[in-house]
Chain A
Amino acid sequence: MSSRSGQAAKAGETVLVVEDEVLLRLSIAAYLRDCGYSVIEAADADEAVLVLKQPDLDIDVLFTEIEKPGAMDGFGLAQWTRANRRGLDVILTGTAPRAVNAAANLCEDGPVPKPYEPQLVHDRIRRLLAARPPRRPAGRPKKP
């Protein structure tokens, strides 16, 4: 378990990471796993939607890049998630100032500007999850 952060993740807390830059995705996913989260990786919004459509996959937080290739960007994915997976917290991240400003309307605590420190992402997740009432005892099922 991680010694990187002051507060470790609770068992079963799951983060869906959506990022099209593979090395960045691997890096943040590895960091969050080291913090104790269960992490699901998606390379684009289509993959993320497929994951989010699985009712047996419990997901607590969607962490998604704003600007990415494909029909749906991070804003679209956040809106889809708001409409179809209520109760799931969304953290957006991006570089373009316009996109970052607009993202403030779609996630609770404003976007995480890129490049980001992984610790900042972990802190943001902890803050969001700490504000929640406990809702389930176990994490996601092992197999989809």
Chain B
Amino acid sequence: MLAVEGGTSPRELTVLLVEDEVLTRLMLADELRSQGLQVLEASNADEALTVLHSSLPVHLLFTDIRMPGEMDGVALAKFAHARFPRIKSIIGSSWQPESIGDFADAFLAKPYDLRELAEQVRRLLGESDDEQ
């Protein structure tokens, strides 16, 4: 389980998953939960902002880029990076933006490879655990 590997004591690591396609979100959430992670599901950026402003802990943001509404995944990741710099972030899309280095930690191409997702999450949450 991810929650136990990186640290000296078990603790819950939480991923905020932002995806507007419900079946894709369900598939990703299932995979992340099977890795021992807590998953908070948001269907758009507005919901994600509500979660980020709540008292719920978030260690990693995984967001689709293209979503309906005023804010897309890039804007959401930039906001999270500026306001909550300790939160790691992965952005996903069928097309890769030119540069993500200033606002996201990783990019995942659609259609998602669940093994790659697990590896990226493990790597980033391992880093997050080391920093704390």
Residues of A participating in the B interface, judged by any CB pair closer than 8 Å: 22-23, 25-26, 29, 40-44, 47, 50-51, 54, 142-144
Contacts and interface: CB of A to CB of B under 8 A. Distances in A.
Q: Pick the 7 closest A-B CB pairs, nearest first.
A: A43-B43, A47-B22, A22-B47, A144-B23, A41-B41, A22-B50, A143-B27
B22 A42 contact: yes
B26 interface: yes
Mostly, the B contact residues are helix
B51 A26 contact: yes
B94 interface: no
B47 A43 contact: yes
Contacts of B5: none
Interface residues of B, number: 18
B23 A51 contact: yes
Interface string B1-41: 00000000000000000000011011101100010000011
Contact of A144 (B27, B44, B47): B27
Contact of A22 (B23, B34, B51): B51
Given A41-B41, A47-B43, A54-B23, A143 B51 contact: no
Given A22-B47, A26-B40, A143-B30, A51 B54 contact: no
Q: Which of A23, A44, A142 has the most CB of B within 10 A?
A: A23
Contacts of B50: 22-23
A23 B56 CA distance: 9
Contact of A40 (B26, B42, B51, B56): B26
B62 to A, nearest CB: 15
Q: Which of A22, A50, A143, A144 has the most CB of B within 10 A?
A: A22
Interface in B47-64: 47, 50-51, 54, 56
Q: Which of B25, B26, B51, B56 has the most CB of A within 10 A?
A: B26
